[in-house]
Structure 1
Amino acid sequence: MKIKTVINTGSFLGMLLLLVSFYNSSIFPILFKINGDIFYYFLIFFVSIFVLFSSKKMYNYLIPLICASVLSIFFNDIPSEFKSHLRLSAWVLLLLAVGPLIRNQVSHKIKEKIFFLFPKMCVIASVLSFLYWAVNFEVVGRGFFTGVMRHAMLVSPIANIALMYVFVLFLEETKKSKQFLFILLFFIIGITCLLGASRAALLGSVVGLTCMLYFHSKKKFLIIMSIFLLVSPIYFIYSSFQESKIRKISYTTSAENRNIFEGLSRKGTDNTREGLWQDRLNEFIANPVFGSGFAAVDFEVIKYKVFVREGGVVEFGSGYLALVSTLGGLGIISFLYFLYGLYRTLRKNFKYKSSKVQLMVIMYLSFFGVHLFFEGYLLAVGTLLSLVLWTVLGYLFDFKYFAKQE
Structure 2
Amino acid sequence: MRGLTRIFPLPLSPFQLSKADKGLMLLSFTLAFCELFNILGFSTFKINNVLMACLMAVSSLIYGLFRGARFNGLYILYFVYLFINVALTNPPAVFQSWLRLGLFVVLLLCVAPVLQNKAMRKFRMQCFKYVMLLGVPLSVISFACYFLGINFIWSDFSHDVTVGGVFSGLFQNSMLLGPVSAVSSCYSFWAYYNTKSKWWIVLFVLCIGVCMFSSSRSAVYGAAVGCMSIMLFANRGTGKRIRQMLVVGIVACATFPLWQGALTGINQKNAANELMGEYGSRTEKFEARIEEFGSSPVFGVGFAAINPHGRDAYNPRTGVVEPGSSWLAVLSMTGVLGFMFMLAIYVNAFFAAKRCASEYGALFAGLIAYLAFHELFEGYMLAAGSALCFISWLIIGVASDLKYAETD
TM-score with structure 1 setting the length: 0.83
Residue 343 of structure 1, CA deviation: 5.1
Task: Give distance in 1, aligned partners of 2:207 and 2:350.
Answer: 32
Deviates more, 1:182-191 or 1:16-25: 182-191
Match of 1:81 among 81, 91, 94: 94
Q: Distance in 2 between matches of 1:298 and 1:220?
A: 48
Q: 2:208, 2:220 within 8 Å by CA — same for their partners in 1?
A: no
* Letter aligned with residue 229 of structure 2: C
Q: What's 1:338 paired with?
A: 345
- Please state how far the C-alpha of 1:211 moved relative to its aligned partner: 1.8
Q: Return the offset for 1:316.
A: 0.5
Report the Cα offset of residue 35 of structure 1: 4.0
Partner amino acid, structure 2, of 1:10: L
Q: How does 1:187-202 map to 2 (within 5 A)?
A: 187-202=205-220
Of 148-157 and 127-136, the range deviating more from structure 2: 127-136
Q: Which moved more, 1:124-133 or 1:43-52?
A: 43-52
Aligned pairs for 1:241-256 (under 5 A) are none
Q: What does residue 129 of structure 1 align with?
A: 142
Q: What does residue 323 of structure 2 align with?
A: 316
SS of the equivalent of 2:89 reads coil
User: In the aligned structure 2, how far is the partner of 1:6 from the partner of 1:402?
Assistant: 20
Distance 1:171 1:96, change over 3 A: same
Q: How many residues align?
A: 369
User: Could you tell me whether the CA contact under 8 Å between 2:302 and 2:333 is conserved in 1?
Assistant: yes
Q: 1:168 to 1:344 in 2, by over 3 A?
A: closer
Distance 1:334 1:267 in 2: 35
Superposed displacement of residue 313, structure 1:
0.6
Structure-2 separation of matches of 1:162 and 1:335: 25
Consecutive unaligned residues of structure 1, counting only runs of 5 or more, are 240-259
Q: What is the alpha-carbon distance in structure 1 between the residues aligned to residue 83 and residue 124 of structure 2?
A: 26
Q: CA RMSD in A?
A: 2.5
174, 180, 185: which one pairs with 1:152?
174
Instruction: Say whether 1:91 aligns with 2:104.
Output: yes
Equivalent-residue separation in structure 2 for 1:345 and 1:195 (angstroms)? 34
Post-superposition shift, 1:110?
1.4
C-alpha separation in 2, matches of 1:340 and 1:213: 19
1:228 aligns with 2:252: yes
Amino acid at match of 2:327: Y
Contact preservation (8 Å) 1:99, 1:391: yes
Identity of aligned residues (%): 24
What letter corresponds to residue 289 of structure 2 in structure 1?
Answer: R
Alpha-carbon offset, residue 340 of structure 1: 4.5
Could you say what secondary structure the match of 2:177 adopts?
A: helix
2:268 is the counterpart of 1:266? yes
Q: Deviations over 1:26-82 (max 9, x none)?
A: 12323xx46454532321232233322322411112233222211221112311111
1:182 counterpart letter in structure 2: W
Structure 1 counterpart of 2:37: 23
Does residue 120 of structure 2 align to residue 107 of structure 1?
A: yes
Deviations 1:102-142 (A, max 9, x none): 10122112101122232232210011112222221244434
Counterpart residue number, 1:253:
none
Indicate conservation of the 8 Å contact 2:95/2:305, yes or no.
yes
Which residue of the partner structure matches residue 303 of structure 1?
311
Q: Distance in 2 between matches of 1:25 and 1:317?
A: 19
The aligned amino acid for 2:246 is L
**What is the CA deviation profile of residues 322-355 of structure 1, one whole-angstrom value per residue up to 9, with x for unaligned ones?**
11000012212222333453355346x41x22x2
Deviating above 6 A after TM superposition, structure 1's stretches of 4 or more consecutive aligned residues are none
1:380 is paired with a residue whose SS is coil
User: What is the CA distance between 1:308 and its match in structure 2?
Assistant: 3.9
For 2:120, the aligned partner's letter is S
The CA deviation at 1:375 is 0.9
Alpha-carbon displacement from aligned partner over 1:75-100 (angstroms, at most 9, x marks no partner): 12311111111111111111111112
Question: In 1, Cα distance between the equivalents of 2:297 and 2:72?
Answer: 28
Identify the residue that residue 14 of structure 1 maps to in structure 2. 28
CA contact (8 A) 1:65 1:331 kept: yes
State the TM-score, normalized to the length of structure 2. 0.83
Q: Of 289, 295, 310, which aligns to 2:298? A: 289
CA change 1:97–1:182 in 2 (3 A) is closer
